Chain A
Amino acid sequence: MTTRIVELRRGILKKNDELAAGLRERFTTAGVLVLNLVSSPGTGKTAFLERTLTELRARGASVAALVGDLETDNDARRLAASGAPVRQINTHGICHLDAEMITRHLEDWKDVSLIGLNLLFIENVGNLVCPSSYDLGERIRVALLSVTEGEDKPLKYPGLFNSADAAVITKIDLAKPCGFDRDQALRNINEIRPGIHVFETSAKTGAGMDEWINYLAWEAKLT
């Protein structure tokens, strides 16, 4: 009986990475800026995205959103209030979105074409660990944290924050009552992902939204 070692040197998520690369190429060709929004449950991703969609539409941008949750279409119904096309992805227990889900839902989504779309937002399942491993073909990965979660979130979840292209601090209208230490939070983000763009926002009061929308308009080359 002989045994031998076979070298493979293959990425475990190679299939996902290949699908994501295909998506990225499609998005680039169609000229649509795709963002993947990741945070823990309760950070306020949906309220933040609802306001983002509304403000971008007011500027004449063509926007759409895919929203991932384990169950229910509550978030899709909330986001649809913005007037943008929204599609719910229910993962039924899976704790993250993957490139296969995005590919399949884009195919089935008859009322949205990538051509002519300026921005597509993908709201991931609320989870700060697993989504960091799955490339969805996005150009910008956004990590969100709320002032109610504490300043040390980036230190506790370095895998996600380190892979992000932008960070958004949400609910800053609650910073004072929560005793949120802004400087410490910014220092922590910068330790984990040096030089990243950080936006401090409130979907409730609109604080910081202009800066965020300007950033998106610039990245999406909106005129």
Chain B
Amino acid sequence: MHELSIASSIVESVTESAAAYPGARVKEVRLRVGALASVVEDSLQFCWELATEDTPLAGSVLVIHLLPVIVHCAACNRDSQLDGVQSFRCLHCGEIAADFRQGRELEIESIEVEDPEPAPAALENREERA
């Protein structure tokens, strides 16, 4: 159960990135998670609300894109997308294939931010200056 640690790392990282958009609200955080990343989607979703509480990410939605394992076969030089993580064999020739092209990802793909409405006071100031 390290999903809470993972969730906290995401919050920290996104809060840092979102600081470049002052006042903007983070609506959605999108992840890419490989089948071999040892992260349980339900647990991570369960921890999300707790981890984002009292942070700029409170109320945001976590979207998790699960990526299957893709191995490259040295014997026949082809890639196979595998259904599970129980056996790493080439689907074309049956050889054991340990060259992982996908499946270990644990990354923040993107965030969706909503820009704030310009404050009326700011607009007035701008008019005065003009």
Residues of A within 8 A of B (CB): 1-16, 94-96, 98, 129-130, 132-134, 155, 158-160, 162-163, 190-195
Contact = CB atoms under 8 A, between A and B. Distances in A.
Given A8-B14, A96-B2, 19 more contacts: A3-B27, A3-B112, A3-B115, A6-B17, A8-B111, A12-B6, A12-B13, A94-B5, A95-B2, A130-B1, A133-B2, A134-B2, A158-B36, A158-B85, A159-B38, A159-B85, A162-B36, A162-B85, A192-B88
A6 B88 contact: no
Interface in B20-69: 21, 27, 31, 36-39
B38 A130 contact: yes
> How big is the B interface, by class?
35 or more
B91 to A, nearest CB: 15
Nearest to B1: A95
A195 B98 contact: yes
Nearest to A7: B110
Contacts of B36: 158-159, 162-163
Q: Determine which residue in A5, A6, A132 has the highest number of CB atoms from chain B within 10 A of its CB, and name it.
A: A6
A2 B114 contact: yes
13 contacts: A2-B115, A6-B17, A8-B109, A11-B108, A12-B31, A16-B9, A130-B2, A133-B106, A190-B96, A191-B86, A191-B87, A193-B98, A195-B98
A158 B86 contact: yes
Contact of A12 (B9, B89, B110): B9
Nearest to A127: B2
A12 B96 contact: no
A133 B64 CA distance: 17
A130 B5 CA distance: 10
A150 B114 CA distance: 52
Contacts of A14: 13
Nearest to B116: A1
A162 B96 CA distance: 13
Interface of B: 1-2, 5-6, 9-10, 12-14, 17, 21, 27, 31, 36-39, 85-89, 96-98, 104, 106-117
A130 B113 CA distance: 31
A13 B38 contact: no
A130 B85 CA distance: 17
A133 B37 contact: yes
Contacts of B86: 155, 158, 191-192
Given A13-B9, A132-B38, A133-B38, A4 B2 contact: no
B110 to A, nearest CB: 5
- The 3 A-B pairs of least Cβ separation, nearest first, read A130-B2, A159-B38, A158-B85
A156 B96 CA distance: 18
B59 to A, nearest CB: 14
Contact of B38 (A2, A98, A129): A129
